[in-house]
Structure 1
């Protein structure tokens, strides 16, 4: 139980960081956001993305499996972009186009890949 909580918190915080980087490069924030509100907005965005990724990702992958197979996996870029776009739309104060969300999906995939590598090492160290 403790391990899952640590993994969830790590994913949440690093997803928030990845979304912050993605929005700074590709999207935009609301004009009247203070630094404290920006922090809370991206913590909320990281939480929303973590939940969307855990709940909707398997369903979207199963529904788009024919397109993924026909494109030899390249359609996963669109799936990841859709999940980022949906997460950004659910959080007020952040805007991003769908095309920018596809690029942000690549960034978020890299972030989650790095988190998975570190959590696997952490699990081996605690076992």
Structure 2
């Protein structure tokens, strides 16, 4: 049940973030739900591999390279999900930051448990 709530919150946060950012477009809420699911899968499978492969750069930049990895995940998701478009790396980076902040705020409002 908690996973479904997280998916819904992420989809709503993605819609809100895309509304605010002119370089990101999401066609409809169904696309946002699919995007939330794809992002969950990519964060589960691809992100750990990227973190391990780029560990020296992450250590050298004191963790700031993780922002680049998040942007790459967003760009990969934009290639996989029809109806979700990001205009470039800069917009993917900004979208990942805004999505993280908005979904965190929405999840705390929704009363999700801290697991």
1:11-90 alignment to 2 at 5 Å?
Answer: 11-24=6-19, 25=21, 26-29=23-26, 38-90=28-80
**Larger-gyration structure (1/2):** 1
Residue 113 of structure 2: aligned partner: 119
Q: Which stretches in structure 2 are left out of the alignment for 5+ residues?
A: none
Structure 1 residue 77: deviation in Å?
Answer: 0.9
TM norm structure 2: 0.80
Count of residues in correspondence between the two structures: 109
- Pick the structure with more helix per residue: 1
Structure 1 residue 109: deviation in Å?
Answer: 2.7
Q: Secondary structure at the match of 1:118?
A: coil
RMSD over equivalenced CA pairs, Å: 2.2
Provide closer, same or farther for how the CA distance between residues 111 and 7 of structure 1 changes in structure 2, counting only shifts above 3 A. Answer: farther
Contact 1:23 1:94 in 2 (8 A): no
TM norm structure 1: 0.73
Rounded to whole Å, the distance in 2 between the matches of 1:59 and 1:119 is 28
Contact 2:78 2:85 in 1 (8 A): yes
Of 96, 100, 105, which residue of structure 1 is paired with 2:91?
100
